[in-house]
Amino acid sequence: MAQDEKDIVGSIEFLEVVGLEGSTYKLQGPNGEEVKLNQSEISEEDELQVGEEYSFFIYPNRSGALFATQNMPDITTDKYDFVKVLKTDRDGAHVDVGLPREVLIPWEDLPKVKEVWPTQGDELFVTLRIDRDNNMFARLATETIVEQMYTPVFDDEMKNKVVEARPYRLLRIGSFLLSKEGYKIFVHESERKAEPRLGENVNVRIIGHNEKGELNGSFLPFAHERLDDDGQHIFNLLVEYDGELPFSDKSSPDAIKEVFNMSKGAFKRAIGHLYKNKIITIESGKIALTQKGWNRVEK
C-alpha cells in the first residue's frame, strides 16, 4: 500500500463520488484510492451525486479494504475522547468509537495485571492509530497527551467535593484519573483501599491541588466517617445480607455474640457510630443500610 493511501485512513477527507453499484457507492480518494460507501452510512440531509465531492471519515474493514462513512466517529487519529468498552478478551479491550465496526485496544497496551483491565461499560480515553498494514486500533492517551489537555484548578473551590472520574493510568504509586470536565486527578496509593479498573467510573473526593493545577484526590471517606474494626464487620455483614439484619440495641448479648462475635456494649457503640454517620438506620428490631451506606460498597 502506498504511503499516501495510508495517510487518509482514520481521517476526515473530501472524496469524489464516482459511481453507484446496488447499495454501495464508489468513491475516489485524493490519490486515486478506491473507497466504498454503504448507503446506510450516508447522512440524512445528503443526497449524493456522481461527480460531486463530500466529506467522509475513512476507515479499513477487517480485511483492510477502505470504507467511508458520514456518521463521524467519536475519535480520529488526531482527536481524543472517552469511548465505551464493549468487551474484554485475550486480545485486549474492544471499544465502540461510533463506527460500523468495533476497534481493539491490544492487550499489550493494557495493564500487566488483568484484574484491573476494563470491563463492559467502562470508558477509556483514547485516539485512533493505523499501523503499517492498514489495521486500525485504539490507543490509550499518554501522560504527555493528558498534560496538554486537562483543565487546571488553582484554588480551593474543589476541595472536599466529590467528582466522578475514570482512571487512565494505573501505577503502584497511585491512580491517575480524568473527569468529563477535564480535571486531572491523582490518588496516592495511601488514599485507596484497592486499585480501580482502568476506565472504571469512580467517585473521588478532592483533597487539594498542586502548582500545575492538578487535583489530588482520595477514595477514602472523611476521617470522622471511617469505620473501626467492629463497625466495618457489621457493615460487611449488612452488605452480605442485602442491607438488613434483625438486630438492634435491644437484642440479647448472647445473640449479638453469636452473630457478630462482639459484646453488646461494643455492638451498641459500633451501630451508634454507623447511625451518626448516616450509614445505617435503626428501626424496630433491625438495622439497615442507607443509600449513603450502599454508596460505600466497593464495586
Interval 76-98: pLDDT, tens: 988 999 999 999 999 999 999 99
The three cell numbers locating residue 44: 440524512
| Cβ count within 10 A of residue 239 | 15
Per-residue pLDDT, 170: 96
3-69 CATH, one of 3.40.630.30, 3.40.50.300, 2.40.50.140, 3.30.930.10: 2.40.50.140
Q: Per-residue pLDDT tens for 208-260? A: 999 999 999 999 877 656 778 899 899 999 999 999 999 988 899 999 999 99
Task: Please give the model's pTM, rounded to 2 decimal places.
Answer: 0.72
**CA-CA distance, 46 to 59, in Å (whole number)?**
20
CATH 3.90.1310.10 fits 225-295, yes or no: no
**CA-CA distance, 239 to 220, in Å (whole number)?**
18
**2, pLDDT greater than 60:** no
Which of 19-28, 83-92, 177-186 is least confident? 19-28
Q: Tell the CATH topology of 152-218.
A: OB fold (Dihydrolipoamide Acetyltransferase, E2P) (2.40.50)
Q: How far is CA 2 from CA 14, 132, 165, 259, in A?
A: 19, 10, 41, 73
Contact between 57 and 28 under an 8 Å Cβ cutoff? The reply is no
- Same topology, domains 81-140 and 225-295? Answer is no
CATH superfamily of 81-140: Nucleic acid-binding proteins (2.40.50.140)
- Domain ranges for the chain: 3-69, 81-140, 152-218, 225-295
